[in-house]
Amino acid sequence: MDSADTPLHDLQPTLDRLRAGWQANKPDLAQRRGDLQRLRAAFRRRAGEMDAAIRADFGHRSQHENLISESMIVLAELDLALRKLRAWSKPRRARVGWKFWPARAQLRPSPLGVVGIISPWNYPVNLALVPLVSAIAAGNHVYLKPSEHTPRTSAWLRDLLAEVFPDDRVAVALGGSVLGAAFSALPFDHLLFTGSTAVGRKVMAAAAPNLTPVTLELGGKAPAIVCADYPLKTAAARIASGKWFNAGQTCIGVDYALVDAPRRDAFVAALREEVAARFGDLGDARHYTRIINDAQLHRLQGYLADARARGCEVIELIAVDPARVDAERLLPPTLVIDPPDEAAVMQHEIFGPVLPVRSYARIDEAIAQVNRTERPLALYPFSHDRASIERILSDTLAGGVTVNDTLVHFGVHELPFGGVGPSGIGALHGQFGFDTFSKLLPVFHQSRLAASDWIKPPYRGKVDALVRWLAK
């Protein structure tokens, strides 16, 4: 265990400290706003440190990708919370119906207590701080466990949060899978996990004995469906953005593309042109992110070896010396043409710069391909024909959809972000995240005169008649 790691025996005492602090001083609206303002100021001041830490953890990551996916997203979430905090926190009127008139009812957003957050390595700051912002805005204390695969970034998160919050309001646990398993088993008031579906199942199982409510942000095989009417050049450009951003290490990244059969080869050619325009020959690969570690690189290389063994055409869109691939973890954009269902690239979420391209004869065939897999976290239909889009949306189900583009629905913070079934449980972003980390407490206010004063045994005469009338 690294000396910076959190000892296992510190987990429960830290949770106890956070809960005692919350019980003694539940954050009011002024404190929450002040916390978010200080976090915003500290984050902006230390963004350069964040960028350096992430690039060091990845071996190299595009600075512009850090700006877009980390800085822009975190600041947008902070700004929305600061702007909407008062409105989100107000009691919400609920109708009682005429049978209970003149009583009134409301929903009161109430903080839960201590929220646990387990964040992943692929967007190590965004996916840690966005849910933390929601939890703080809702009036909770937070215990964060960031990924061990980005140790420099995790240490930066710990230092940033220690600067903003006292240790009885926000704490950070550092460590690997053993610590993560113990963290998942703590009796939180709510637990959020972002990561793979396989690990999500383990986290949910660990939380179950405590009946800890969980929100799971998972993954899956997100398809792009290019309909026959849609321009190939535009489709290729937008799918390239959704596939090779962060070298494909994105939970909502395009996992495979479906294109009408007569245009498959033209689509491949358009992708080749798009990649060449973006990355050249990768001699100067400053804009191309590396694979996070050797284990992930070897996993992806195994998928490609499996595809070749099955006779699939594998196209490296940029030729890179294999020695450089291994030394720098620089896996180039790669296509696998029409792999069968049993191929590894179709059995597993790829989470890398490998894109299967499959052809279809009719749109119902493409829809059937999507429905043969578990419901994905994202879906990307491309068509200017409204009927085709509606057909795809009505016959499939995904966590979220961007029509005629990729990824960008994630950046709209007033849309919920979350999966369905194996791709996730619950939702984050904006008010949806605020509500996730709140108890929407139902409160019924009875009037001075109430029918309940009359409706009681013995049920006879007018009381009997009234009950029978109300029950019609």
Marked catalytic residue, from 70, 77, 227, 251: 251
Cα radius of gyration rounded to whole Å, the chain: 25
| DSSP at 428 | B
Complete DSSP assignment for 92-135:
EEE---GGGTT-EEEEEEEE-SEEEEE--SSSTTHHHHHHHHHH
Q: Are 218 and 197 in contact (CB under 8 A)?
A: yes
3-state secondary structure of 191: strand
Marked catalytic residue, from 70, 217, 274, 349: 217
Rounded CA-CA distance 242/196 in Å is 19
- Exposure b/e, 341-378, CB count within 10 A at least 16 = b: eebbbbeebbbbbbbbbbbbeebeebbebbeebbbbbb
Contacts of 111 (CB under 8 A, 6+ apart): 22, 26, 27, 138, 139, 140, 437, 438, 439
Q: Are 366 and 360 in contact (CB under 8 A)?
A: yes
259: exposed, middle or buried (Cβ count in 10 Å: 0-12, 13-18, 19+): buried
In three-state form (DSSP H/G/I as H, E/B as E, the rest C), the secondary structure along 27-68 is: CCHHHHHHHHHHHHHHHHHCHHHHHHHHHHHHCCCCHHHHHH
Rounded CA-CA distance 217/276 in Å is 33
CA angle 464, 466, 471 (to 5 degrees): 100
Could you tell me the two tokens for 320? Answer: 């890179």
235: exposed, middle or buried (Cβ count in 10 Å: 0-12, 13-18, 19+): buried
| DSSP at 453 | G
Residue found under tokens 């290389």 = 301
Q: Is 251 a catalytic residue?
A: yes
| DSSP at 448 | S
Residue found under tokens 């321009």 = 231
Rounded CA-CA distance 188/391 in Å is 42
Could you tell me the two tokens for 3? Answer: 């000396």
Catalytic residue set:
217, 251
